[in-house]
Chains A and B, each alone.
Chain A
Amino acid sequence: MSGNAKARTIVDKIWDNHVVAQQAGAPALIFIDLHLCHEVTSPQAFSMLRERGLKVRRPDLTIATMDHSTPTTSRDLPIVDTIAAAQIAQMETNCKEFGLRLYNRMSDHQGIVHVIGPEQGLTQPGMTIVCGDSHTATHGAFGALAFGIGTSQVGHVLASQCLLQTPSQAYEIRVDGQLKPGVTAKDIILAVIAKIGIGGGTGCVFEYTGSAIRSLSMEERMTICNMSIEGGARAGLVAPDDTTYQYLAGREFAPKGKAWDDAVARWKQLPTDPGATYAKQLVLDANTLEPMVTFGTNPGMGMSISGSIPTPAATTDPIERSDLEKALKYMALEPGKPLAGHPIDVVFIGSCTNSRISDLLAAAAVMKGRKVNPKVRMLVVPGSQQVRKQAIAEGLDEIFRASGAEFREAGCSMCLAMNGDQLEPGQYSVSTSNRNFEGRQGKGGRTFLASPLTAAASAIAGAVADPRKLA
């Protein structure tokens, strides 16, 4: 990596700060500052520790929660799915046996792993953060190098607090200008992915820069970093600034007193040096963006809400053409037609992309005094118990219920349909989550990804709707 004299990117700086050892002909050994665990990708890692007689090296840098297979029904009800119940029980056993802090189903700190880290101040600038989950990039919003790992690596981190890694290339995604009303952070990231494709960032870490990114709140930055993986990048980050420090100050695990001042001084060294170079670059003008919606079966198949569904015949590459045909067949959509106005069955507001308080506030502002179309089922699933509590304190639950929406307990829910919340075969949903893969929200289900504003407007219309045209 770069020496001290050379201008470095924030990615270089975090990397350099975390190299524990570098043996010839091997990847670097990198120290991990924070390890987040959940019930689905950790059980086999704990089994491995047991088989080899290993302990968790740093329980103090490890935190666990339950989100993926956890029901979003009332916590008073038992878990109906016995296999999920066994997995959740195993998480309790594993955390107890290895001495890990667990926010279980009954904890008021429980929630989607990428929502609770930031809200408790666990996620901090300059850290290396990993989790057995590809949306770990969410934490990059704080200027942390955060990425998803597989279960073998979960075991490696539990046992050694380290990972074997090779450096990634830095890819600058600069978004200048100002978003127009009705256009959100979600639309920025959907536009980026539509532009570069879902493999465009493979081998890279995105650094989001530019005036449009700077003017975003922390929650909006999280929405953007969250979907870095949908552009193929394992990580994506935003250099910390005053917005970051203001968000963090006073949170439960944020440093306090002198330690806070020292930390801020360190964090201020992180931003990319002037003159540092990126391996790749994309520039986007926020002024030109419209609300985005996906039409296909991967997150790169997105378009402006006023656009038309692409025509496979216009695509020259034969595999690309057959993939587009396959996607449109699965989605049962006609090429060349607009997507706006297409009838839908379900609206899902939730997931680690868009389930924070600002997302629920945005959706509630649309729903207030309006009704969910009688043909539509609308689920609002807060990202954490803390978000849920705040939403209730602000009366959002009442607004959602009065409009005819369900206001549920915290978890991943219909984002990946493991916990009983799912689409029926053939149903269409407008979802604020991050993946529209075949069957992602339930076998045979069809997903249109969009912002909370677009999702709420669509719930009212009973069809894909442009939030700027709300009557």
Chain B
Amino acid sequence: MKIDIIESKTVVIPVENIDTDQIIPARYLKTTSMEGLGDGLFYDWRYNPDGSPKADFPLNQPAAKEAHILVVGDNFGCGSSREHAPWALTQFGIRAVISTSFADIFRGNSLKNGLLPVIVPADVHAELLKWPGIVLKIDLASQKVFLPGGRSVEFPIDAFSKNCLLNGVDELGYMLNQEAAIAAYEAKRQDSVNTLA
């Protein structure tokens, strides 16, 4: 799940504090695989009780089909730690989410699934919220979002996550390569770690 450049129209859900229960309702969490979660994405916001799509919900507009960039309000992804949330977003086709802030666990989960959380300054964010459907280019290498008219803004990302996304580094592989350090630590802490044994 490498990322370098993401270029697409935006789809905008101008709501703050969107929690992961809305992104993927708990009833979709009974699965033991990752399949089919895209269908449950924002289910209760996307569909009427009779199962028909709500025409005015942004993800139901025809343009949303080709959009890979989602723009949302502050503190996106708060609440439950369910990684099903980034799984559902990526299965729907979303590759970057733009906001002013993200909940910690959601941000971590996204980075592990090739979904780029992009934090932009409040003034730029306010503009993006107002213009759904504009085309943005996100360049991870330079950490820049290019807006129409040639403007660009930088966004923060830690060096390690950036490297993992750009080069497809396997995080667990990186961890397991430090086996010697883990074993040494275990030996040192033998007396103070309580085991269930």
Contacts and interface: CB of A to CB of B under 8 A. Distances in A.
Contacts of B141: none
Given A21-B178, A47-B33, A152-B109, A437 B158 contact: no
Contacts of A439: 21-22, 25, 44
**For B14, B44, B81, B186, which residue has the most chain A Cβ atoms within 10 angstroms?**
B81
A34 B100 CA distance: 34
A361 interface: no
B196 A101 contact: yes
Given A27-B160, A323-B16, A61 B81 contact: no
B132 to A, nearest CB: 15
B160 A323 contact: no
A74 to B, nearest CB: 21
A33 B189 CA distance: 10
Nearest to A255: B194
28 contacts: A31-B182, A84-B30, A86-B30, A122-B196, A124-B194, A134-B80, A134-B105, A148-B81, A150-B81, A150-B105, A152-B109, A159-B176, A160-B172, A164-B160, A199-B74, A202-B75, A202-B104, A229-B79, A232-B78, A234-B104, A253-B194, A263-B192, A323-B73, A416-B80, A418-B27, A435-B79, A440-B26, A443-B44
Interface of A: 20-21, 23, 25-27, 29, 31, 33, 40-41, 43-44, 47, 52, 57-58, 60-61, 63, 68-69, 81, 83-84, 86-87, 90, 101, 122, 124, 132-134, 148-153, 155-156, 159-162, 164, 166, 198-199, 202-203, 229, 232, 234, 253, 255, 262-263, 266, 298, 300, 319-320, 322-323, 326, 416-418, 425, 435, 437-440, 443-444
A200 to B, nearest CB: 9
Contacts of A43: 31-33
Contact of B19 (A21, A153, A253, A437): A437
Contacts of A132: 81, 83
B15 interface: yes
B189 A83 contact: no
A44 B17 contact: no
A60 B83 contact: no
A27 B112 CA distance: 14
Nearest to A83: B30
B150 interface: no
Contacts of B31: 43, 83, 87
B143 interface: no
Given A124-B194, A199-B78, A202-B104, A150 B32 contact: no
A29 B178 contact: yes
Nearest to B112: A152
Given A29-B181, A133-B81, A266 B192 contact: yes
B29 interface: yes
Contacts of B101: 199, 202
Q: What 4 A-B pairs are tightest by C-beta distance, nearest first?
A: A199-B75, A43-B32, A150-B109, A150-B83
B36 to A, nearest CB: 11
B171 interface: yes
Contact of B17 (A149, A160, A198): A198
Nearest to B76: A199
A156 B108 CA distance: 13
Given A25-B159, A40-B29, A164-B175, A198 B108 contact: no
Contacts of A68: 29
